[in-house]
Amino acid sequence: MRIIDPHIHMVSRTTDDYQRLSLAGVAAVSEPAFWAGFDRSTAAGFKDYFRHLTEFEPRRAAQYGIQHYSWICINPKEAEDVKLARDVIAIIPEFLKKPTVLGVGEIGLNKNTRNELTIFEEHVALALREKQLILIHTPHLEDKHKGTKLIVDCLKRTPGIDPGRVIVDHVEEHTIKLVRDAGFWCGITLYPISKVTPERAIDMVEQYGNDRIWLNSAGDWGDSNPMNTLVALQEARRRGHSEAWLERLFYNNPCYFFGQNPKFKLQPTVPVNALTRS
């Protein structure tokens, strides 16, 4: 079975990881722009990072037969500096035209501040103006519930938002219902300590269904495992879920969401218009 890791920060990973992902059947990865572990001082620093995402990583991934896609934004943590954030937002449109960029992301909140919310709204306005998909980061740990609610409320009062073109990532047991009830896509991130284990992720999919949901490793420079999407697939298979159920979750769903942007090249094994309500 081919699978997709729809949220992974390959700039932080070695080429060995591309090889391991390829050997395990990963056909494509998508990489949202994120915090580098330190605050960048200029918009030019972000421009170089966006070139890395859109020029170097697709070439590196292609050596292992993996399609690499990316998302462009200034991440929520650095968005606290509104002047810098607006300078960065000004250079985003030129990168949205690149052949492997799927949309605006990962935007959202970090510490749930007014400045972060202002820049989130400006990113959303940009995405709507440019007719882009949106990928959203929700805050960590004790800040997640409040941040997710602020984000969902903000999107609900924004005219022109199509929930089917927005994914709210890093949902957990206390936020998944909030996001699903509003009609947005959900992402579940598989982190060893600070987010969700593969077992809990499969529990949530069993409880809420495998429609409009994906699982990702969000592998990065921190405590993470780029193979965790595969570990979750193994756990779901061990429990006895059908191959069609697994394929829907680990391959077709990312294809359905990404496929709304014609730049995404992979096709689902079951066309989206062949799905029926069960």
Which chain residues interact with another protein by CB under 8 A?
80, 110-117, 139-146, 149-150, 172-174, 194, 199-200, 203, 206-211, 213, 238-241, 244-245, 248-249, 270, 274-278
Phi, psi of 44 (to 5 degrees): -65, -35
Q: Nearer Cβ to another protein, position 115 or 260?
A: 115
CB of 58 to another protein, least distance (A): 31
Query: Minimal distance in Å, beta carbon 114 to another protein?
Result: 5
Q: How far is the CB of 139 from another protein (least distance, A)?
A: 7
Choice between 110 and 224, CB closer to another protein: 110
Least Å distance between CB 132 and another protein?
25
As a whole number of angstroms, the distance between CA 235 and CA 241 comes to 9
Nearer to another protein, 95 or 185 (CB): 185
How many other C-beta atoms can be found within 10 angstroms of the C-beta atom of residue 115? 14
In sequence order, which residues have a C-beta less than 8 Å from that of residue 268 and are 6 or more positions away? Answer: 251, 252, 255, 256, 259
Look up residue 172 and give its two tokens: 């957990």
Instruction: Give the type of residue at 168.
Output: V
Shortest separation between residue 265's beta carbon and another protein, angstroms:
22
CB atoms within 10 A of CB 222: 13
3 vs 96 by CB, closer to another protein = 3
CA distances from 233 to 26, 150, 216, 241 (A): 12, 32, 11, 10
Identity of the residue, 50 or 250, whose beta carbon is nearer to another protein in the bound complex: 250
**Cβ–Cβ under 8 Å, residues 24 and 234:** no
Asked if 268 and 257 touch (Cβ cutoff 8 Å), the reply is no
Nearer to another protein, 36 or 213 (CB): 213
Q: Which residue has tokens 């593969």?
A: 198
The C-alpha angle 122, 68, 48, rounded to 5 degrees, equals 55
Smallest distance, another protein to C-beta of residue 24, A: 23
DSSP 77: T
